[in-house]
Structure 1
Amino acid sequence: MRTVEVSATCSASPEKVWEVMADPFRWAEWLTIHKSWKSAVPAQLSPGDSATAAARVMNMPVAIDWTFDRVEAPNVIEMSGLTRAGVNLKLVIGIADMGAASKVDLSVNVDGGMIDGPMGGVFQGSLTGALNTSLRNVEALVA
C-alpha cells in the first residue's frame, strides 16, 4: 500500500473552501487527476452516495468507482474507490479552521495493481505532485 499526504493553508474560511472542494461538478477545476464524471453524481454529497469518475494518473486513463463514506460539512469528505484493475483507493479531504484561513489536508491510500510493484514509488511521486498542484488550484479558486 502507498500513502500520500499533502497539506496547505488556504486564505479563506472552511465554508468557502468547502464550496469548492465539496461540489463534485467543480472537481475538474481543482483536482488535477479528476477529468469528468462517467455517471450521475449528486449536487450535494451525502454518505452512501456513489459515482464513477474518469481520472488520469501518470498520463494513463483510469475509471474509479467512488463511494462517499463520510461527509461532514465543512470539514471532512472520506471516499473509498475501486478501479477496473482492482486497485483500492481511499481519499480523505480535511478542512480545518485557522481563524482567517483554513488548513486543507489531502490523504490518499492506494493498494493493489502496479502500486505494489516496482512502479509504486514512481506512482507515489507522481501522485504527490498532482495533489500539491490540486491544493494550489484550490487556493487560486478561493482567493
Structure 2
Amino acid sequence: MKKQTVEASLVAYVTDKEKDLYRLAYNYVKNQEDAFDVVQESIQKALASVDSLRNPNAMKSWFNKILVRTAIDFLKKERKIKAMDCQTIEFLSKGKKDIYHDIDLHETLEELSYQYKTIIVLRFFEDLKIKEIAEVTGDKVNTFKTRLRRGLMFMRIHLT
C-alpha cells in the first residue's frame, strides 16, 4: 500500500476515534492538557513511522501501542520533574479537591505496575479484545491472560 494511502487511513482513524484516544491517554496521565499532549505526540510519532506499519488492518492496535508507550514515557518523565517549590505547594493547596465516584478503584489502579495497569485499562475501560491488547502490549495471548489474572487478583485483595 502506498505511503500516502496509509497516512490518509491514519488521519481518518485518528479523526474518527479522537475521543477514545483522548480517554485512553487521560486514563494514564489524569490531566486534560497532558492527555491532549500525549495524543498529539502519539500522532506525530505515528506519522513519522507510518512506514513501519506492515498491515493497515492492524492500525488500531499499532496506534494504541504508540499511544500507551507515549503515555508511559510521559509519566516516567513527569516523575523526574516532580520537584516543587513552596509557591507551587501553596498554590495547589488553595484549589478545589477532585471528587471521584470510584475513588477506591482509581487508587488501586494507580498502585498497579504499568504492565498490569495497561492491560486492565485496555480491557475494561477501552473494551479491547484479548488479541488486540496482546498486539498493543507486544505480549503473547497467554502472557496477557496471566497478567490480567494477576492484576485483577491484586485489585480484589486491595478492594476488599
Q: With structure 2 as the length reference, what TM-score do the two structures score?
A: 0.29
Name whichever structure is richer in strand by fraction.
1
**Which one has the largest radius of gyration?**
2
Q: Which has the higher contact order (CA 8 A, sep 6+)?
A: 1
Name whichever structure is richer in helix by fraction.
2
